[in-house]
Amino acid sequence: MISIDKVQLDEKQVLRNLMQLYKYDFTEYDPEDLDLMGLYDYPYLDYYFVESDRYAYFIRFNGVLAGFALVRYSELELTKETVLELVEFFVLKKYRREGMGSYAARDIISKHSGKWKIGVISSNVPALSFWRKTIHTKVGVSYEEIKENSWDGTILVFETK
C-alpha cells in the first residue's frame, strides 16, 4: 500500500538524508559537486518547515520510506501568476517502474487544487516522458508545455479542481 504523509518537523533529518540519494541520482542529468563535508547541499530544505506555502511529503510503500516530494507556491514567468509547483520529486530506484511514482504524484497533486507547474530540466528525458504520461493518464487533465527564459527545461502547466 502506498501512502503520502506530510513530513513532520522531527522528521526533517530523515528528509535531508533522502535528499542525498535524490541529489546523487540527479547528477546523471545535472552534475553537482559535493560540499566540503562530502554532502550535497539543498539550501531550501529548512523553508519547508517554517513557511506556510511550502509542503514536504514522504512517499511510503507498506510503511517503508520510498521517496519524497516538495511542493511550493511560485510564479509563472510569462504570466506572473502564482501557481503550485512540484519542485522536487523522488522515488527510490527499487520502487520505480511499478506505478508507484505516478500513483504518488497523482495523490500529492490531488491534495492541492489549482494551477500547477512542473519543471523538467532538458537533459532529463525520462522525467519528461514520466510527467507527460502521469499528468495526462493518472491526473487526468490536459497540460501545456512552455519555456521560461530563466531556466533550461520544459515547464508543464495544468490545472486541477
Domain boundaries, the chain: 2-160
**C-beta of residue 133 within 8 angstroms of C-beta of residue 99:** no
pTM of the model: 0.94
pLDDT on residue 25: 92
Instruction: State the average pLDDT for the chain.
Output: 94
Measure the CA angle with vertex 89, ends 85 and 152; round to 5°. 65
pLDDT in tens, 82-112: 999 999 999 999 998 888 999 999 999 999 9
Question: DSSP string spanning the chain?
Answer: -EEEEEPPGGGHHHHHHHHHHHHHHHTTTS-----TTS----TTGGGGGT-TTEEEEEEEETTEEEEEEEEEEEE-TTT--EEEEEEEEEE-GGGTTTTHHHHHHHHHHHTS-EEEEEEEETT-HHHHHHHHHIIIIII----EEE--TTSSEEEEEEEE-
Inform me whether the pLDDT recorded for 33 exceeds 90. Answer: no
Which listed CATH number (3.40.50.970, 3.40.50.300, 3.40.630.30, 1.10.3720.10) goes with 2-160? 3.40.630.30
**Residue of 55, 45, 46, 26 whose CA lies nearest to 120:** 26
Give the up-direction half-sphere exposure of residue 128: CA atoms within 13 A in the CB hemisphere: 13
Residue 55 to residue 35: CA distance in whole angstroms = 26
pLDDT at 139: 86
Burial status of residue 94 (CB atoms within 10 A of its CB: 0-12, 13-18, 19 or more)? exposed
Q: Is the pLDDT of residue 35 over 90?
A: no
